[in-house]
Structure 1
Amino acid sequence: MSKVYRIGIIGCGGIANGKHLPSLSKLENVELVAFCDVVLSRAEEAAQKYGSDQAKVYSDYTELLLDESIDIVHVLTPNDSHADISIAALEADKHVMCEKPMAKTAADARRMVEAAKRTGKKLTIGYNNRYRQDSLYLKQLCEAGELGHIYLGKAHAIRRRAVPTWGVFLDEEKQGGGPLIDIGTHALDLTLWLMDNYKPKVVLGTKYHELSQRENAANAWGPWDPKQFTVEDSAFGMIVMENGATIMLESSWALNSLDIDEAKCSLSGTEAGADMKDGLRINGEKLSRLYTTEIDLSAGGVAFYEGQSDSDSDVEARRWIEAIDQDKDPVVTPEQACVVSEILEAIYESARTGKAVYMS
């Protein structure tokens, strides 16, 4: 890569500082030249730590988008603003990386897909769990047909007590939901991608507020305020795909369960099964005997991306810039991410009405 890409960051909170900025700063062919946050001091701090010598700071993203020298924008704001900012950035001739979920609503997600097509700019969504070593290896197995026809997928996003109490995570108006749209979205994206199945037929969902209103609850980040906890504490969905495959999605920030898994999935196919619950395990039958194989991911690289010492976020950043530089589709396409948002919305709608939602 010979070109140096100039990047603007919109939203300089936790996800920017914990994920995007550290990974982008490792790349030699990017320059972080603009930082925007409604709290200007956050933008200033990020610029001082990660920005170029002449980096600019803004409190209004529309001013940042006026800079024609910026090639790429990362949208790292609350869910309710993803669509408007991303579309504005695309229309300002920028490529866009938007954090997950794609948007607060499926309609907004579809608007983003349309904007990317209309402008010809690249749009991707921050589903970084696709870049983990176990995910990449299992993807290769699926593509090689080792599991056969995959007709059952289970998407796991369960925490025993880990409710995020900072920012706007508990605000339904800003976020659009709780654990389903926050961590369930990662597990669902991973499952759909591994199955390579993006045609949902019918969705049935439930959601619960069973533990959210408890005072002084045990929690990884300290007790939550029940008055501020306006989103669900758990949500579950069953998705039947057009080809007859079934996907079960479980998501919770607080659940009385010792079966804890986050951003993982289990797959069952005609030739073999796989799960990520205790490392990556493949199971099946050979010569009338059952077998279980544990994959050692420490003994070599993955052909999909060489560089196993990098974190999943590091690989995500590198692959994103490569997609722009080589003019190819990003690993996470907007069309794929839009289906995730449509299914999540269908689960919420089914939970609200008590009826199945037919999608095709």
Structure 2
Amino acid sequence: MKTLKVGIVGCGGIANGKHLPAIKKNGNFEIVAFCDLIEERARKAKAEYGTQDARIYTDYQELVKEELDAVYVLTPNNAHAPVAIAAMKAGKNVMCEKPMAKTYAEAKAMVETAEETGKILTIGYQNRYRADSQYLKAACEHDDLGEIYFAKAHAIRRRAVPTWGVFLDEEKQGGGPLIDIGTHALDLTLWTMNNYEPASVTGSVFRKLADQKDTGNAWGDWDPEVFTVEDSAFGFIKMKNGATIELEASWALNSLEVDEAKTTLCGTRAGADMKDGLRINRVKYGRQCVEKPDLQAGGVAFFDGVETKPDDVEQKIFYDAIVNGTPLTVEPRQALVVTQILEAVYESAKTGKTVYFD
């Protein structure tokens, strides 16, 4: 197996919580360069995951000059585009965390750079690799649901506002729960539907709970002074073929209906949701029925099974695309449409008008 030399830009939470452990587990990567604005974070990541002679940088422009097969862009959202574009122009393949970029214009520039340079660009939508997501995608591809004309993208937390890093900073992130977790739910919905042609978006964005105290938040009370993004957002999306999608996202909402990175699909033959595991509803032999596939990896008393984590699958697909030329699961133009719709929700909420696409 060929070993790929890679560099990491951004050594914070998403790097240490997701990518670095998965890269190490894969075994076919060598991390030979680390970059972070806070040098100590880069040094800490090197000590745990890097090669002995891995280089440390605080400027990504220096890292992309290295002889690398790929660069991982694991920064706040406002740096995704400049880092990814610089890496691709320097001849590197890129794995970029979600969302693709802070704005549609930046995401479009990333896609154009990938196409101009011929480098691989993929985005970290790892929820596609879950067992329930894969099963539902297969069902859709086999036309089990028929024409999917209505869907919901769920990203609702009751009280789980991230209080660390720059999550609450609109300038660095571009938004709150919509761009943070709503992006996963929307990506999952568009991907399972295989529909990437939006016609219009109407959005509502709220900041109703952010100034409250004694919040009951999962990670402790947030600071209202630095909470500059929305606490919830909702979108109504019409696709060019007439299909309709409702998008819901919140970090804080007085709701007992809590779902994250899930989708509901309604088709002419059957429907599906992820509310209580994956459920497929249909009429069979003249009766309404609900089917729940067994997605556990085990099956016998003495074997629990080995469930492959989505993070691990993500790394394998990226590796295979670089080494073997196999197709990406998350294509850049798909991720571009996700960013286009998210931006339209914000724009519609700001102007009070529906955003229409050509």
- Per the normalisation by structure 2, the TM-score is 0.97
- Which residue of the partner structure matches residue 47 of structure 2? 48
Q: Which residue of 2 aligns with 1:339?
A: 337
Task: List 4+ stretches of structure 1 deviating above 3 A.
Answer: none
Moved more, 47-56 or 194-203: 47-56
Structure 1: give runs of 5+ residues left out of the alignment. 302-306
Structure-2 residue corresponding to 1:240 = 238
* Distance (whole Å) between structure 2 residues aligned to residue 102 and residue 298 of structure 1: 31
What's the CA shift for 1:299?
Answer: 5.0
> Does the Cα contact within 8 Å between 2:297 and 2:306 map onto a contact in 1?
no
Amino acid in the other structure paired with 1:18? G
Does the residue aligned with 2:294 lie in a helix, a strand or coil? coil
Question: Would you say the 8 A contact 1:133–1:308 is kept in 2?
Answer: no
Aligned-pair distance for 1:3? 1.6
Task: Give CA deviations for 1:260-285 in whole Å, capped at 9, x if unaligned.
Answer: 00000000000100001100100010
Q: CA deviation at 1:215?
A: 2.0
Q: Distance in 2 between matches of 1:216 and 1:86?
A: 40
Give unmatched runs, 5+ long, in structure 2.
300-304
* Partner-residue secondary structure (3-state), 2:25: coil
> Does 2:87 correspond to 1:62?
no
Alpha-carbon distance in structure 1 between the residues aligned to 2:61 and 2:200:
39
> 1 CA distance for matches of 2:333 and 2:306?
28
1:26-60 alpha-carbon deviations (Å, 9 max, x no partner): 11221111111000000000000001122111111
1:295 to 280, 293, 296: 293
> How far apart in 2 are the matches of 1:54 and 1:331?
33
Counterpart mapping for 1:77-116 below 5 A: 77-116=75-114
Instruction: Output the amino acid matched with 2:147.
Output: H
Q: Report deviation, 1:328.
A: 3.0
Equivalent AA in structure 2 for residue 353 of structure 1: T
Deviations 1:283-316 (A, max 9, x none): 0101221000111101579xxxxx9522111111
Taking the aligned partners of 2:135 and 2:287, their CA distance within structure 1 comes to 24
- The equivalent of 1:180 in structure 2 is 178
> What do you get for the CA RMSD once the two structures are aligned?
1.2
1:77-156 to 2 correspondence within 5 Å?
A: 77-156=75-154
The residue identity in structure 1 corresponding to 2:59 is D
Residues 70-127 of structure 1, C-alpha deviations (whole Å, 9 max, x = no match): 1100000000010000000000000000000000000000000000001000000000
Equivalent in the alignment of 2:13? 14
The answer to whether the 8 Å contact 1:216/1:224 transfers is no
- Cα distance in structure 1, aligned partners of 2:298 and 2:128: 18
The residue identity in structure 1 corresponding to 2:309 is S
Aligned length: 353
Q: CA separation in 2, counterparts of 1:314 and 1:28?
A: 11
The offset of 1:217, in angstroms, is 1.4
User: How far did residue 331 of structure 1 move?
Assistant: 0.8
How far 1:222 sits from its partner (Å)? 0.3
Aligned match of 1:38: 37
What residue in structure 2 maps to residue 304 of structure 1?
none
What secondary structure is seen at the aligned counterpart in 2 of 1:25? helix
- Kept in 1: contact 2:269–2:282 (CA 8 A): yes
1:102·1:337 contact (CA, 8 Å) conserved in 2?
A: yes
Q: CA deviation at 1:21?
A: 0.2
One-letter amino acid of the counterpart of residue 61, structure 1: Y
Say if 1:308 and 1:274 are closer, same or farther in 2 by CA, change over 3 A: farther
Q: Using the TM superposition, give the Cα deviation of residue 329 of structure 1 relative to its aligned residue in structure 2, in angstroms.
A: 3.0
Quote the residue 2:189 is aligned against.
191
- Give SS of 1:82's match: helix
How do 1:272-287 residues align onto structure 2 when only pairs under 5 Å count? Answer: 272-287=270-285
